[in-house]
């Protein structure tokens, strides 16, 4: 399941939706708004998205992760809009029979998401603000590193 949303991310609901008696290992990653960046205090963070395209890319991340690992359940939620310090901006949760797969699949999913999903961050400092330096999106997944020319 994938979701792009302006609402707060509810980790409790994510873990409930991940319940599955056939899976022994669950790995949940949460990305949160941090109070500092490059030794400067951050006060809040805006996330800009290309919503329809971001949803398509999130779905690709989900499909590619399921293709590469024996994933029983996967939930990817990304928030956008204006976030406060400590707010969860992204959640990736994976349930597998074994923990090794769950760790690897979750790591792959968040790394691939970061490399492909069109979302931009703007940091606000006590004085001023700035768009966060990012990466050129990869054509496909993090697996092949072909950068768009």
Partner 1 sequence: MNITLRFFGQLRELTGKQEHEMTVKDNILIEDLEWLLGQRFPQIKEHLETSSFSINEEYVSRNAKVNAGDIVGILPPISGGAE
Among 19, 35, 48, 84, which residue interacts with partner 1 (rule: CB under 8 A)? 48
> Rounded CA gap, 73 and 36, in Å?
33
Does the protein bind its own copies through residue 6 (CB under 8 A)? no
Which run of H or E residues covers position 69? none
Please choose, from the candidates 15, 44, 49, the residue with its C-alpha nearest in 3D space to the C-alpha of residue 32: 44
> Rounded CA gap, 140 and 56, in Å?
12
Q: Which does 47 bind (CB under 5 to 8 A by kind): partner 1, its own copies, none?
A: partner 1
Does the protein bind its own copies through residue 35 (CB under 8 A)? yes
Does the protein bind partner 1 through residue 25 (CB under 8 A)? yes
Among 16, 22, 39, 149, which residue interacts with partner 1 (rule: CB under 8 A)? 149
CB atoms within 10 A of CB 35: 12
| 52 vs 126, beta carbon nearer its own copies | 126
Does the protein bind its own copies through residue 46 (CB under 8 A)? no
């Amino acid at each position: 399941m994938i979701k792009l949303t302006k609402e707060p991310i509810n980790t409790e609901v994510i873990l409930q939706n991940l319940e599955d008696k056939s899976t022994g290992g669950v790995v949940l990653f949460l990305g949160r708004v941090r109070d500092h960046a490059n030794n400067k205090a951050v006060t809040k963070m805006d996330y800009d998205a290309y919503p329809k395209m971001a949803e398509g890319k999130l779905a690709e991340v989900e499909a590619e992760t399921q293709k590469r690992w024996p994933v029983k359940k996967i939930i990817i939620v990304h928030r956008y809009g204006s976030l406060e310090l400590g707010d969860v901006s992204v959640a990736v949760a994976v349930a597998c029979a074994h923990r090794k797969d769950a760790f690897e699949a979750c790591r792959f999913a968040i790394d691939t998401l970061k490399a492909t999903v069109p979302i931009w961050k703007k940091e606000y400092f006590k004085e001023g603000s700035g768009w966060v330096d990012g990466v050129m999106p990869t054509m496909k997944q993090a697996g092949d590193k072909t950068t768009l020319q």
